Structure 1
Amino acid sequence: MPASRYTDVAIVLHWTIALLIVGQLAGGLYMVRIPDSEAAFKFQIFQLHKSFGVTILLLSLARLVWRFTHKVPPLPEAMPAWERAAARAAHWGFYVLMIATPLLGWAYVSVAPLGVPTFLFGVVPWPHMPFFEGVSDREAVAHLFEEMHEYAAYAFIGLLVLHAGAALKHHFVDRDDVLARMAPFVRRKTSV
């Protein structure tokens, strides 16, 4: 008989990464509005943003490995095929964004003309990506990666709203156990 909910490890990774991503999105929107006159504070916030971005990348890679090595609980049998397809697409979209967004940010920092070093949480040095050494127009390439990182963040916001809305719809409208599979604090509606 297949498991009716995700494993504890998958649940912890899901909620930890979700909280970090929401924090990153809020922090990213905030930090780009910090005036240049507050350069020292802005530098600290950018370093934290990079630190949490690397943390999200590493946790997301761990989550992907866990996903490939552990079965996912089945969706309700009554769920229409289009909803199943949408759920799968959204989940894979999250995996793509959880890995691509930090990588784009890392690429941006790595190619940026200023060459500001990254220290994770002010302590651990994090290298720049090595394959940008020969780039002649670093400013243009940095701008491209910065824009791609920003678009990925906005895609994250859209997907998060869609995902949360779908989970709430399943819980309150469809009255099924889709939300309870990942939220240990939600009571199951059906017997196992």
Structure 2
Amino acid sequence: MLRNRDNAYGLIAILFHWTIAALFVGQILLGLTTQWVASMALQFTLIQWHKSFGFLILALAALRLLWALANRRPARPRDFSRAEWLAAKLVQSSLYVLMLAVPLTGWALVSTSTLQIPSFAFNLVVVPHLPLAPSEASENFWRDVHWWVAYGTAAIAAGHMLAALRHHFWLGDGILKRMLQPGAESPNRGTVKGQKAAGR
């Protein structure tokens, strides 16, 4: 099952979700590592990889957003309160936007850097800078914005993960399975849409 259904996620949405999540965690670790290494040559190489994966996340996040807009969203499980479901949708929508914002602010950072070092994406192609004027003030501004957006995203993603684990292990509702297995439904919960269709 590639596409979403009324009560389950499809394979494409699941692959987008976990691929971007894994890349984002790797990017946080890689970004920290670039600050710890003493060798300038190694630091340069790590920064180039950090930028490469950032561009990859940007492309995947844009494709994921387009896929989400072109697909139905699985309906609310009937045991979810409206407030709980709205909060979940808000977090998910925020992560869609932030997964675009993090690499974009990083791109702005390298574009405004006074060093003007080219970005070699996976050593295959040079990604041009954004049309932003290089200056020390702009570079510092975008460095701070990139830092806050990245770690803010990490905090929201961590809360999202903890909420999913709470539903899976504490509430035992199986909601996490919808993002682990294509076509998986929440056991014994049904959906609001399905409940109405059954005339309950």
TM-score, shorter chain, exceeding 0.5: yes
How many residues are matched? 185
Whether 1:10 and 2:7 are equivalent positions in the alignment is: no
SS in 2 for 1:147: helix
Give 1:89's aligned residue. 90
2:159 alignment partner, one of 158, 162, 166: 162
Whether 1:19 and 2:22 are equivalent positions in the alignment is: yes
RMSD: 1.8
SS in 2 for 1:173: helix
Measured after TM superposition, the shift of residue 117 of structure 1 is: 0.2
Whole-angstrom distance in 1 between the partners of 2:168 and 2:20:
22
1:176 alignment partner, one of 157, 161, 173: 173
SS in 1 for 2:171: coil
Identity in percent: 38
Please give the residue correspondences for 1:17-166 in structure 2 after superposition, counting only pairs within 5 Å. Answer: 17-35=20-38, 38-130=39-131, 132-133=132-133, 138-166=135-163
Whole-angstrom distance in 2 between the partners of 1:162 and 1:51:
27
Contact in 2 for aligned 1:76/1:176 (Cα 8 Å)? no
Contact in 2 for aligned 1:175/1:189 (Cα 8 Å)? no
Contact in 2 for aligned 1:117/1:127 (Cα 8 Å)? yes
Task: Please identify, of 79-88 and 14-23, the stretch whose mean Cα deviation from structure 2 is larger.
Answer: 79-88
Relative to the length of structure 2, the TM-score reads: 0.87
Whole-angstrom distance in 2 between the partners of 1:120 and 1:80:
45
Measured after TM superposition, the shift of residue 95 of structure 1 is: 0.9
Measured after TM superposition, the shift of residue 188 of structure 1 is: 5.5
Alpha carbons of structure 1 residues 189 and 62: separation in structure 2 relative to 1, 3 Å: closer
Contact in 2 for aligned 1:17/1:60 (Cα 8 Å)? yes
Alpha carbons of structure 1 residues 72 and 188: separation in structure 2 relative to 1, 3 Å: closer
Report the AA paired with residue 33 of structure 2: Y
Whole-angstrom distance in 1 between the partners of 2:48 and 2:162:
32
Structure with greater contact order relative to length (CA < 8 Å, sep ≥ 6) = 2
Which structure 2 residue ranges, 5 or more long, are not aligned? 191-200
Measured after TM superposition, the shift of residue 57 of structure 1 is: 0.3
Which structure 1 residue ranges, 5 or more long, are not aligned? none
Measured after TM superposition, the shift of residue 82 of structure 1 is: 2.1
Report the AA paired with residue 177 of structure 1: G
SS in 1 for 2:126: strand
Whole-angstrom distance in 2 between the partners of 1:189 and 1:146:
42
User: Deviation above 6 Å: which 4+ runs of structure 1?
Assistant: none
Whole-angstrom distance in 1 between the partners of 2:77 and 2:155:
25
